[in-house]
Each structure stands twice: as structure tokens, then as C-alpha cells.
Structure 1
């Protein structure tokens, strides 16, 4: 799937959801203003969550990693004081117990081995530290892309959407954290809402080739794209409207902490 696209394309597609989600997710993970400690952002992308973490604990206490070269370049330009590296979540280039918390926003469902990626996050987090992740509720029909995928299925009932991805259904993200060896796992919901001025403002980002949705649009010929656009337009108002989206979030504690 395509995430090796320009930072601007991602910002126009998912960034407007990721920005408010980052605030809620950092709160959920317990990364508070001035809390100190070192924090890792796994799958940092263009640096949306990274920037929020840096605002709370300082750039010098934050690190990030992402497989996309264009996203890494964008994040480094945005946050020159953050240690941002290119790599994958299943093989993190930091020693054991480097961080006090490791977070993954909208990433786990795209890992080749989600449980292994979460276990790696636990490895680089100190005993007693926090590992947290969030994924849109695709299976529950509350994700930002639900209107798009509903229209796709009308045209092609066999089309593969994102509802079957890891962490995208109730309880599965918490299950993955437990499988990765985390203790005290808790689950919650994070809700954001995004305002659009018009249907065209909503539709245009889907043509930029970002993620599974962008990949699907690329497979269509001109007539297919126009038909998909028409079906999406039937589901949404033409004038200003708001899209509400819900993400599953789960957090757990790394084993091995000693009592005071």
C-alpha cells in the first residue's frame, strides 16, 4: 500500500484527523505536559503525534521512526531537535529500556506483524513504562473512510476494505498488547470531528494515492473514478458538513518494574 507519498498529500488526506487525534491519544497514553522522560513515536509519519509529544516533553526527549523516506524527511524538517530515523516497527534500532513510553498512532494495523511490533515497543521501553496504540474503528463503521468504502462496496462487493486489519475491531488492539506481553492492559475510545466546506474538499484527498483507499482509486479507470465519486456524493451533503470518527485505543505496562 502507498505511504511513500509527499507529506502534503498525507496531510490533506489523513492529517486533519491525525492532528486532533494526537492530542487525545497523548492524553490517553499519560504523556502529560512537563512530565519528562523519553518518548518514542513508532510510525511517526510526517510528525503529527511527534510534534505533540515534543510540545509536552521537549524535542530532545522524543524519538520517532517511519519506513517512508519522504515522511522521515518531512518530520526531520518539522522537528530538527527530535531523533527521527527511517525503519520499521518490528525492528527498532534502540537498546532495551531506552524510553519511558512508546506510542503508535494509526500504525499497528499496517505492520507486517502487529504483535511483534508491539513487543519491540515493549522491549525499548523501561519496566513499568507505557506502550500505547490506537487504530480507527473500521470494523464498527466509525472510521473517517467509512463513506468511501461503503461506496466502493456498492460498486464491487468483493472489494477489500480496512475492516479486517489488526486492531480495527472491538477488543482486538487490547488483545494484541496482551499477546505482546504487556500487563494491565486498558482500552478506550478516542473521538474526533473534522469539518469540510464542500464535498469536493472531502473527495480530492482520495485521488492523491495515499494508503489503501488511494491505492483503490488508482486501480480505477476514468469512468470508474467518476462513478465512485458520484456514489460518495450521494452519501454526503454538498455544503458544509462534519465527519465524526472514532479510534480504538489501548495501553499497557511493560513487565519487570520493581517495588519502591
Structure 2
């Protein structure tokens, strides 16, 4: 059975990082945070969301925290002038009330105690600050993974135990809303964010599953070559292809936001 690994930034980018950027852009438009704010990206990974904040939100400063040293190295190399450090979402290395915006992209479901993490988001927020996150809709809306696990389970029923749709019940509107409300955040709202995921051909679809980053690629890496080939061939028959060979799917994430109690500080204070 595959072992889930999160360390190789380049492999992660090829797998889902490229789609995360499209979701991040829509997510940030929804947040519509004024310029000049201090941001914290929790579970920053390779820096995809951080880079979008720098490009489009005119922040005063952005910091990223992730438990993976490999991802933090990747983010530091390509996301200046943000600052990054290795850290735990359940014990953020920041003082109380020190940032205006806390965001987390595609990471909250991997935290062993997500309620504790969201409580930390609320702790480090300044009055009226914004806490927001998005996670993949693994159960039905992240089509590339849905096709993969459906086929994998047909060939190997034991693979179903690795399916993120089963493992992460938090990745749905009501569980996310409950986390935010229970952390004391206000005006909580949840919405779907859907983006196209277009692959040039089946090789473009399949190759990222060979990178070893995440549950599905980890599972592929664990297979003997005949089993890997059988999975590849069954997937090639299953995923819908256009006449030109391209594969056009969609990826849906669930996004949640809420605000801390209190009055907003003046810009730059």
C-alpha cells in the first residue's frame, strides 16, 4: 500500500499545484481584502497561494508556514519577497493578534486536528481579521482524482482506504462551516470554486501520478510494474478524451471564510 509523501515541490506542482493556482486566483477575488494587510499562509506548500497573494492583493507582508522542509525550500526559492518557515498549523509560530488575514490552501484536511488549527487561525488574527481556506472536493468534484480512485478500487479493493474522498469528511460545506463557527469566527460563509483542468493528452494526465507526491502518486509508486500498467491502461480507457486527444475535466474546491470579532484596525497600524 502506498505511503503518502509531501516533500518534492516540483512533483507536487506537476500533480495538483498548477490547478491550485487557478483556484487561488478565484479564492482571492472572493476574499477581496484591501491592500496593505499582513497575511499568513498556513500549509503554504510550494508557495502557490502565497505567490497569488503577492501578485494580486498588494499585501504589506506575507509569511508562509508549512510542516514540510522540502516544500518550504521550494517556496523560498521561487516566492520572494515572502518569508517562509517550517511550522505546525496546530501551534503557529506567531503571537496573538499579529496578522490581518490567515489563509490556507488545500492543506487543512491534512492537519491531524483541524479544529485546533482553525483555533490557531483565530488566535493570530487582529480584530476583524479574515480567516479563510479552501480544500478539494475529493468526494465528487476533483475529477482527476475521482477517476483515479474509482479505477484503482476496481482493480484493487484495498486501494479504497487511501481515497481522499473517504478519508477527509471535513472537505464538505457543513464540516467547514462548523470548524469556523466553533473557533468563534463570525459572518461565516462557504462557497464552491470550480476551475477547468485541461490535459494535452493522456500522458499529460498520467505522468504526474508517477511523481510520488500525495496519496494517489504514492499508491502508484507502490505498485509492481504489471499492476501499474494495468491501472494506466484502465484509466486510459476510462477518462473522457476529446477528438484531438485532450482531456478536459474540472476541479472543484470548497472555500470558507469568517472574520474575527472586533473593529478593523486602520491600514498600516
TM range (shorter): over 0.9
Structure showing greater relative contact order (alpha-carbon pairs closer than 8 Å, 6 or more residues apart): 2
Cα distance between partner residues in 2 of 1:259 and 1:87: 27
Q: How does 1:162-173 map to 2 (within 5 A)?
A: 162-164=164-166, 165-173=168-176
The two structures, once aligned, show a CA RMSD in angstroms of 1.9
Task: Choose from 220, 225, 248 the match for 1:222.
Answer: 225
Q: How does 1:83-232 map to 2 (within 5 A)?
A: 83-158=83-158, 159-160=160-161, 161-164=163-166, 165-232=168-235
Give structure 1 stretches of 5+ with no counterpart.
none
Cα distance between partner residues in 2 of 1:71 and 1:258: 33
Instruction: Give CA-to-partner distance per residue, 1:168-223, whole Å, 9 cap, x none.
Output: 22322112212222111101010111211110110011011011112211221111
Matched residue count: 257
Give structure 2 stretches of 5+ with no counterpart.
none
| Structure 1 residue 259 displacement after superposition | 11
1:242 aligns with 2:245: no
Change (3 A) 1:147 1:258: closer
Change (3 A) 1:80 1:141: closer
| Structure 1 residue 156 displacement after superposition | 2.5
Cα distance between partner residues in 2 of 1:237 and 1:163: 21
| Structure 1 residue 258 displacement after superposition | 7.8
Cα distance between partner residues in 2 of 1:59 and 1:90: 24
Cα distance between partner residues in 1 of 2:264 and 2:48: 34
TM-score, L = length of structure 2:
0.89
